[in-house]
A and B are shown apart, each in its own frame.
Chain A
Amino acid sequence: MASEPKVYVVEDDEAVRDSLMIMLRAADYPVEGFSSADDFLAQWSEQCRGCLVLDIRMPGMDGMTLQKELNHRQSLLPIIFVTGHGDVPLAVEAMKEGAVDFIQKPYAERTLLQKIDQAMGIDAEQQQVLQELQSIKERLATLTDREREVMQMMVEGKANKVIAIDLDISQRTVEIHRARVMQKMGTHSLAHLVRMVLAADQGSALA
């Protein structure tokens, strides 16, 4: 699957799926349709971008089960559940499991498109954060052990003099390391460096 953002539609009812795809194409959204959760899973990869419009009730694997499986695979693709009449309790359950939204059939085009835009916005934001995190990690990987030690102390707010004493090196050497760290991390501001290091620490749990 390409990483171009698109709307993935998983819906077993052929007419509903066909009409929804035609409608989304007419509104200029890239779309890909699947008639079952299994078909979608078979083609899923973590590169999938955009959002998933998912029917909650389907024969075989239903929408809720697909959501659980995607969560298990650590998919970040936002999910909009499409529910039938009287499926609100199911939808509530789905929201607890992390779905971004749900919509009841039959729906107004505008409402669905709004929800899709919002979901795709969330996905884009998530991607941006992930990309930034990735670039921070790549930069961190270029630091030497000593540079990493110095950076850790800089982030903790220690002065060059203190770092020099702690590491038993000259203040001049600290200054050189410090300049290297700033250069390799691509920043001039200590505050920015602190944010990047924090993001990398938190992000390692995310990614």
Chain B
Amino acid sequence: MAAHLPDLRSPDWQQQQILLVDDNAQNLKVLYETLSVMGHKLLVANSGLKALSMLKATSVDLILLDIMMPEMDGFEVCGRLKAHPEWKNIPVIFLSALDDLDAKLKGFEAGAVDYITKPFQSREVIARVATHLRLRHLEWQQALANARQQIEWQREQLAQVARLATLGEMAAGIAHEVNQPLTAILNYTSAAQRLLTKPAPDSSLLGEMLEKLDIQARRAGDVIQRVRTFARQPSGEATALNIADVVRDTVLFAEVDIRRLKGQVVTEVEANLPSIKLDSVQLQQVLLNLIRNALEATAEANGESPVILRVRRMGILLQIMVEDQGSGLRADIADIAEKLFSPFNTSKKDGMGIGLSLCHTLVQGQGGQLTYRPNQPRGCRFVIEFPLVTAT
């Protein structure tokens, strides 16, 4: 897809550049004067070769190309343009005194978008140039929209890959969480079978054990349910979210790590927060990453303090803070925000340095901001802010 994109650095409508190519200085002068009223930036070249070398240095949105030129004629220049990966989408209008059908057709075959016969009418040239520039601009806008869509899609894919990677990292913990109730269930059933072989089985004890079995089976089911909630395909759509629900679900899922790292997460969510339009899956991924980092840092420092997740409204912003009293960031990373959120920087033993950079990308993609401050007296504080007024 990227190969078909026009140059995305293309300037605005008024700042589009037009290249005029003609070997005749007088013709160039007339064309220049005619088009200068349109207010676009005009470039001139008096030979095909010069035109091609100018294209190497600057980007052009439209070319007016004379056919009859010495050394390299217009058809050949056009042919070379169309064979060039970066230039092939620049619209070309042929200018020529040749008013025969064959020449016009040959021009279109060479890839031109239009043909103007000399001597020309100023108003006609202006009208044609304006039309093609507008088309070019629309095409560019469309490509830009496509590119944006593609970036958005890639971001969703990234979030999905990240959540699967997170699941993978958490697999051992999840297995442990399921193993505990399974072990209890097997113990209870073995005991029940033994009790039943006795001459007078204690039915009240058996009843009690059935109840316990039920509780343990549900406990295992809850773990699976949490994994399923987390692992479901992202919608990729922003919906009006109740932030308290997202926080609750995320913390519930983080239970696996809370138990593994013997940590604690305390949530302080302000009451009556307005709903906010965000992609819940991406937000969950970000929160989970930050919570897991905080739990790990706390465990590493043998800290007792819980990880605190605060959500509050600050004027027009929704603020989510994840704070810990853990081991903190390596000084050389913490000092430079750019470095902190760029990939492959890590102070973790087995880290890849993807987590924070991904969080940053996902938060920005949702129109928010992720910032870092050292926490007092130690540890980290990550702050996510989203505007509550949704941009149109």
Contact = CB atoms under 8 A, between A and B. Distances in A.
Interface residues of B, number: 24
A16 B188 CA distance: 9
Contacts of A27: 191, 194
B193 to A, nearest CB: 8
Contact of B183 (A22, A25, A107): A107
Contacts of A20: 183, 187
Contact of B191 (A23, A84, A86, A105): A23
A89 interface: no
Contacts of A109: 186-187, 190
Interface in A143-188: none
Contacts of B239: none
B180 A13 contact: yes
Interface string B185-228: 11110111011000000000000010010011001000000000
Contacts of A191: none
A106 B175 contact: no
A15 B182 CA distance: 10
Given A18-B184, A107-B183, A26 B172 contact: no
A204 B178 CA distance: 48
A101 B223 CA distance: 30
Nearest to A62: B262
Given A27-B194, A105-B180, A85 B172 contact: yes
B179 A84 contact: yes
Nearest to B186: A106
Contacts of B212: 15, 18-19
Given A15-B181, A15-B212, A107-B186, A22 B191 contact: yes
Contacts of A86: 172, 175
Query: DSSP majority for the B interface?
Result: helix
B179 A19 contact: no
Contacts of A19: 183-185, 187-188, 191, 212, 216
Given A15-B180, A16-B180, A106-B179, A23 B172 contact: no
A-side interface size class = 20 to 34
A107 B180 CA distance: 11
Contacts of B176: 57, 84-85
A152 B187 CA distance: 56
Nearest to B188: A19
A86 B173 CA distance: 10
A16 B175 contact: no
Interface in A10-68: 13, 15-16, 18-20, 22-23, 25-27, 57, 59
A13 B185 CA distance: 13
A26 B193 CA distance: 9
Contacts of B175: 84-86
B190 A23 contact: yes
A133 to B, nearest CB: 38
Nearest to A108: B186
A26 B179 contact: no
Contacts of A18: 184, 212
Contacts of A105: 179-180, 182-183
B213 to A, nearest CB: 9
Q: Quick one: which of A13, A18, A23, A109 has the most chain B CB within 10 A?
A: A23
Nearest to A105: B183
A190 to B, nearest CB: 52
A91 to B, nearest CB: 15
Nearest to A84: B176
B306 to A, nearest CB: 14
B102 to A, nearest CB: 78
A22 B172 contact: no
Contacts of B184: 13, 15-16, 18-19
Interface in B209-257: 209, 212, 215-216, 219
Q: Quick one: which of B175, B184, B185, B195 has the most chain A CB within 10 A?
A: B184
A59 B299 CA distance: 12
A108 B182 CA distance: 11
B215 A15 contact: yes
18 contacts: A13-B184, A15-B212, A16-B184, A16-B187, A18-B184, A19-B185, A19-B212, A22-B187, A22-B188, A23-B194, A27-B194, A57-B176, A85-B172, A86-B172, A105-B179, A105-B180, A105-B183, A106-B179
Interface of A: 13, 15-16, 18-20, 22-23, 25-27, 57, 59, 84-86, 105-109
Given A15-B215, A106-B186, 19 more contacts: A15-B180, A15-B184, A15-B212, A15-B216, A16-B180, A16-B184, A19-B188, A20-B187, A22-B187, A23-B190, A23-B191, A23-B194, A26-B191, A26-B194, A57-B176, A85-B172, A106-B179, A109-B187, A109-B190
A-B interface, 10 closest residue pairs, ranked by CB to CB distance from nearest: A19-B187, A109-B190, A15-B184, A23-B191, A26-B194, A26-B191, A19-B184, A85-B175, A106-B183, A105-B183
